[in-house]
């Protein structure tokens, strides 16, 4: 079964390219453009991992993260940061996010973070096929 | 009339004075004059402040970027240009000679700070087969080397490909107006810490990625890709997209792993990937690298190579000589199953072969390691995938002996052609044939050649073993780096301990003193390369280092012996962490060259006896000349009868004040009726400051007179008594707004003390010109003594053959007033024969401020 990933990012171009790239790695991406849509998407289905941009128009990413952590405390959230939000990223880590990545992120790095986030309960990625979804 | 008698006559009658011409006109133009004068002073203050900043950067060997150099130079030229403009407004003359000299200087400076000439090649893309080493400015160093190999060695396998040139990069930047925008952001953003650098890096990269490629460029890349498909004989060719920056991969600055490389890229994502690779010029690691290596940002256009992916069975890196030893008889080959990324990014510890070069390549030693992971590329996927290897595969050698020897022969062939030891990345395809992927000069750093006793041999090591990646020894605190978050908190002078030598951690090398990694292939890999460039000792493949080495513990690592010892606290250690020097870097050299045209006055008083081109060689000369010409012009006002006011002080000599701030001058056009009241020295903050300095000195009347001439002194006293108010006076204060100018013309010297102390610190300055005449030139020892005194007080000192300039700029008003006081005191001192041994209390700038004399 492919990894189910929720991408919450209001930058449309970035989302499209990431969806395309991850799609080829056996990762099913649900891309939404706002925090509110993200919350709505999470109500409708479960996800294995979330990529969350901290800087969005409608809801502050940190608020979205708090809501996500209430709705699905076990679901790993990886923060994406752009301009000037390292402090927010660090706040996010304090709120239980797995890790954070600076935009534009390196795909290998992102895949590494995704696989370690979803494999964590099983004892980490060492010595295993690191391809998300086990492909 | 004999000469001494003529002098006596002149002294008695006040001498032949210039006619008071233009004075009425001057008075009429007073408001304009005052305004131009004020602006001229502001520009001069800013100029001196810039010179001061550039001097400090050169002296302290502090961090400088090309942006800094460029902005300093531009501002310096702009301010001197402004001074010239205001001088023209003040004098009404064009000062063509001075302006021409300035323009010549500006052109010279522009040439020095200008980036490299535009790429001679206009093509946006070029097939790799048409590229050679001479084209490195257009296609980047990496592709120039690879193209050269493809062109010269038909028998060697090099992938087909094309290069997106620097002309394309420039077109992209210009099309989107990015050049100015990037420079603006680089210049305006303040970088205080790693987080600031992160933000700037992210901003600049997104700026590039979110900008569209011009149509012309898209078409050119499309066409080049179609040709590649034709060469490959099938559609949908997957390419490796590699950075090839101009200046990258030079021997001294390898940029190993600093820029992005994307493997297995399809046509669909080619444009995006191209932009991402251009953007990686501003990746955190690359920006840090350029800053810390003093490289010019603009001189490095990002060219990109697109090469057909090789169907790789195994791959690796070859060093044609040992990078850490002077021994030149060994070739090193590192190899893994799958793509070489596993080595360069430090994922696995690779197999190692050592090959003797003479007489024929022969394997001396091989080490086969357990390789638990490998990178592969699938046609169905974009990019590469890290796979776990099967237990059977792990210990299988990644190359056969024949392949190793074949690679060695290739290495020797290339080394012979390029004439230097090389770092060659290669791949062996599934049919077993070797292909050269890239090649660059190998940076060599030698460790200790003598058999040195291990350090702390009485202490039990914390860890021993692993592979030396960069030689040397260092002591520091342990800091374990696993995530990006750790990157932000890495302390200065710590030992970087990490599970994997990721090239991204090279952003930390300017702050780290040593590196310890749990895996990685010793001298191979990007982080090892960069560590050697920075001269930072590193040991890789140290098992369980992250667990055994405790955070914050002090350790000494000896990379040459591959041992790690517990260490004492730094105050007990004689060896300090090595600091990186920016000297001899391109940016530093450029600044030093530029400053030859900016700084250091050729003469203290370029106006004496007249302005000649040989007296004006630097921007300082132009500024100083403009300043003096403006002073001369504005002092013509002192010819207006009755405009001078006596300074109300109890002093043996008369001092005069030309107070242009005086309200009465504003409306009073009836110059004949003008008569000024005595001015108290407290009337103006700078006048007060300077007077406090001057007043502290003993000023015997005509102190400058030779001791032998008592008669002359008496006559002068008489002269002073009978002509108390005849202008102009050789002791004259000129006050205007926030500036004060003191002119003191003595027989053995001429002094001009000028201070500007307003609310904008960057416009404030204080400068003393002391010009000496002929025999009165102070001795070298006296000058040295005075220089020490002024330097101690924080002044800049420029000594020219005819005099000296002591100055300071960019200080707040209060400090400037205190500096003016000190220079006033200094002036009073040097007009005597004895140099001061020390400063009296209240004059010293380091003592608390004093408000009364």
Most confident of B52-66, B328-342, B436-450, B818-832: B328-342
pLDDT tens digit sequence for A83-100: 656 677 778 888 888 888
Domains of chain B: 119-309 (3.30.1490.20), 317-369+391-444 (3.30.470.20), 463-567 (3.50.30.10), 643-853 (no CATH)
Cβ of A13 within 8 Å of Cβ of B279? The answer is no
- B272 interface with A at CB cutoff 8 Å: yes
pLDDT of residue B585: 67
Confidence band for B613, pLDDT divided at 50, 70 and 90: low
Q: Give how far A82 is from chain B: nearest CA, Å.
A: 6
Q: Rounded to whole angstroms, how far apart are CA atoms B96 and B100?
A: 6
Cβ of A13 within 8 Å of Cβ of B210? The answer is yes
- A46 interface with B at CB cutoff 8 Å: no
Homologous superfamily of A3-134? Response regulator (3.40.50.2300)
pLDDT tens digit sequence for B661-696: 777 666 655 555 566 677 777 777 778 888 877 776
Q: Tokens standing for B709?
A: 């001439």
Q: List CB contacts (< 8 A) between B205 and chain A.
A: 103-104
pLDDT of residue B852: 38
**Among chain B residues, CA nearest to A102:** B202
DSSP state of A132: G
Residue B387's Cβ-side half-sphere holds a number of Cα atoms within 13 Å equal to 18
Q: Rounded to whole angstroms, how far apart are CA atoms B260 and B245?
A: 11
- B393 interface with A at CB cutoff 8 Å: no
Q: Rounded to whole angstroms, how far apart are CA atoms A67 and A35?
A: 10
- B381 interface with A at CB cutoff 8 Å: yes
Cβ of B198 within 8 Å of Cβ of A127? The answer is no
Confidence band for A123, pLDDT divided at 50, 70 and 90: very low
**B214: Cβ–Cβ under 8 A, 6 or more apart, which residues?**
B171, B172, B175
Q: Rounded to whole angstroms, how far apart are CA atoms B7 and B9?
A: 5
pLDDT of residue B335: 94
C-alpha dist (Å) from residue B358 to A44, B410, B412, B420, B427: 70, 14, 11, 17, 24
- B380 interface with A at CB cutoff 8 Å: yes
Cβ of B383 within 8 Å of Cβ of A104? The answer is no
Asked which of A82-91, B178-187, B613-622, B649-658 is least confident by mean pLDDT, the reply is A82-91
Asked which of B188-202, B449-463, B496-510, B549-563 is least confident by mean pLDDT, the reply is B449-463
Q: Rounded to whole angstroms, how far apart are CA atoms B470 and B523?
A: 7
- A24 interface with B at CB cutoff 8 Å: yes
Q: List CB contacts (< 8 A) between A86 and chain B.
A: 195, 198-199, 488
Q: Which of B823, B848, B846, B851 is nearest to B697 (CA)?
A: B823
Mutual angle of helices B284-293 and B526-534, in 10-degree steps: 20
| Domain ranges (residues) in chain A | 3-134
Q: Tokens standing for B634?
A: 């504005």
Mean pLDDT of A73-83: 84
Cβ contacts from A onto B, under 8 A: 79
Cβ-based neighbour number of residue B847 at 10 Å = 12
pLDDT of residue B822: 85
Q: Rounded to whole angstroms, how far apart are CA atoms B583 and B60?
A: 10
Classify B46 as helix, strand or coil: helix
């Amino acid at each position: 079964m492919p990894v189910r990933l929720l991408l919450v990012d209001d930058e449309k171009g970035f989302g499209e390219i990431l969806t395309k790239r991850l799609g080829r790695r056996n990762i099913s991406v649900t891309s939404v453009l706002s925090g509110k849509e993200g919350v709505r998407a999470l109500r409708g289905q479960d996800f294995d991992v979330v990529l969350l941009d901290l800087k969005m128009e409608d809801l502050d990413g940190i608020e979205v993260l708090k809501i996500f952590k209430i709705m699905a405390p076990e679901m790993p959230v990886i923060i994406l940061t752009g301009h000037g939000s390292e402090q927010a990223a660090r706040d996010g880590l304090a709120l239980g996010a797995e890790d954070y990545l600076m935009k534009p992120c390196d795909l290998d790095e992102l895949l590494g973070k995704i696989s370690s986030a979803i494999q964590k309960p099983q004892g980490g990625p060492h010595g295993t096929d690191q391809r998300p979804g086990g492909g | 009339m004999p000469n001494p008698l003529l002098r006596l006559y002149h002294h008695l009658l006040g001498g032949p004075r210039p006619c008071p011409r233009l004075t009425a006109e001057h008075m009429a133009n007073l408001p304009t004059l005052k305004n131009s004068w004020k602006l001229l002073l502001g520009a001069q203050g800013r100029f001196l402040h810039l010179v001061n900043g550039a001097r400090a950067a050169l002296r302290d060997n502090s961090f400088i970027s090309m942006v800094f150099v460029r902005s300093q130079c531009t501002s310096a030229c702009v301010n001197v240009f402004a001074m010239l403009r205001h001088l023209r407004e003040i004098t009404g003359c064009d000062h063509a000679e001075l302006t021409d000299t300035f323009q010549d200087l500006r052109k010279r400076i522009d040439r020095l700070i200008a980036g490299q000439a535009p790429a001679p090649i206009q093509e946006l893309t070029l097939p790799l087969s048409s590229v050679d080493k001479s084209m490195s400015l257009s296609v980047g160093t990496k592709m120039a080397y690879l193209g050269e190999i493809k062109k010269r060695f038909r028998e060697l396998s090099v992938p087909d490909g094309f290069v997106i040139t620097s002309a394309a990069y420039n077109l992209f930047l210009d099309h989107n107006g990015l050049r100015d925008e990037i420079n603006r952001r680089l210049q305006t953003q303040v970088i205080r810490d790693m987080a600031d650098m992160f933000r700037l890096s992210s901003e600049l990269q997104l700026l590039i990625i979110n900008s569209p490629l011009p149509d012309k460029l898209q078409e050119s890349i499309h066409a080049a890709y179609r040709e590649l498909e034709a060469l490959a004989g099938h559609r949908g060719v997957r390419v490796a997209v590699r950075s090839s920056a101009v200046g990258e991969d030079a021997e001294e600055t390898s940029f190993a792993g600093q820029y992005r490389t994307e493997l297995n890229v399809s046509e669909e994502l080619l444009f995006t990937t191209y932009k991402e690779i251009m953007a990686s010029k501003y990746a955190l690691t690359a920006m840090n690298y350029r800053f810390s290596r003093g490289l010019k940002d603009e001189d490095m256009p990002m060219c990109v190579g697109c090469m057909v992916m090789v169907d790789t069975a195994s791959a690796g890196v070859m060093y044609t000589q040992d990078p850490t030893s002077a021994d030149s008889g060994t070739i090193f080959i590192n190899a893994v199953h799958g793509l070489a990324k596993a080595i360069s990014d430090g994922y696995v510890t690779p197999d190692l072969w050592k090959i003797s070069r003479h007489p024929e390549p022969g394997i001396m030693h091989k080490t086969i390691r357990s390789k638990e992971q490998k990178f592969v590329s699938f046609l169905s996927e974009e990019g590469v995938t890290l796979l776990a290897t099967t237990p059977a595969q792990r210990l299988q050698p990644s190359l056969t002996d024949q392949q190793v020897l074949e690679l060695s022969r290739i290495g020797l062939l290339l080394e012979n052609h390029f004439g230097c030891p090389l770092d060659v990345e290669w791949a062996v395809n599934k049919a077993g044939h070797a292909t050269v992927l890239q090649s660059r000069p190998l940076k060599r750093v030698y460790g200790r050649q003598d058999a040195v006793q291990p350090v702390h041999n009485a202490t039990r090591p914390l860890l021993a073993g692993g592979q030396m990646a960069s030689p040397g020894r260092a002591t520091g605190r342990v800091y374990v780096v696993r995530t990006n978050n750790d990157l932000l908190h890495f302390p200065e002078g710590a030992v970087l301990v990490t599970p994997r030598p990721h090239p991204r951690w090279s952003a930390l090398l300017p702050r780290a003193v040593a590196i310890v990694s749990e895996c990685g292939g010793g001298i191979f890999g990007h982080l090892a390369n960069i560590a050697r460039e920075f001269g930072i000792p590193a040991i890789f493949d140290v098992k369980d280092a992250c667990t055994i080495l405790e955070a914050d513990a002090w350790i000494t690592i000896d990379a040459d012996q591959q041992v790690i010892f517990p260490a004492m606290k730094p105050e007990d250690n004689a060896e300090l962490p090595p600091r990186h020097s920016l000297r001899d870097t391109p940016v530093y050299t450029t600044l030093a060259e530029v400053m030859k045209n900016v700084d250091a006055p050729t003469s203290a008083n370029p106006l004496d006896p007249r302005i000649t081109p040989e007296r004006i060689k630097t921007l300082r000369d132009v500024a100083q000349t403009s300043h003096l010409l403006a002073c001369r012009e504005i002092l013509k006002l002192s010819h207006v009868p009755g405009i001078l006011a006596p300074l109300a002080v109890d002093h043996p000599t008369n001092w005069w004040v030309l107070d242009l701030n005086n309200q009465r001058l504003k409306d009073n056009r009836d110059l004949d009726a003008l008569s000024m009241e005595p001015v108290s020295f407290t009337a103006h903050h700078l006048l007060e400051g300077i007077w406090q300095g001057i007043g502290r000195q003993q000023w015997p009347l005509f102190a400058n007179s030779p001791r032998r001439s008592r008669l002359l002194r008496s006559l002068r006293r008489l002269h002073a008594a009978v002509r108390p108010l005849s202008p102009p006076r050789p002791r004259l204060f000129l006050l205007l707004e926030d500036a004060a100018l003191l002119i003191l013309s003595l027989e053995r010297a001429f002094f001009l003390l000028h201070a500007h102390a307003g609310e904008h610190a960057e416009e404030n300055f204080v400068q003393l010109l002391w010009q000496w005449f002929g025999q009165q030139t102070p001795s070298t020892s006296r000058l040295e003594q005075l220089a020490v005194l002024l330097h101690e007080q924080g002044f800049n000192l420029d000594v020219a053959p005819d005099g000296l300039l002591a100055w300071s700029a960019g200080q707040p008003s209060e400090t400037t007033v205190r500096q003016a006081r000190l220079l006033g005191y200094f002036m009073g001192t040097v007009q005597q024969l004895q140099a001061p041994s020390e400063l009296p209390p209240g004059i010293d700038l380091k003592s608390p401020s004093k408000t009364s004399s």
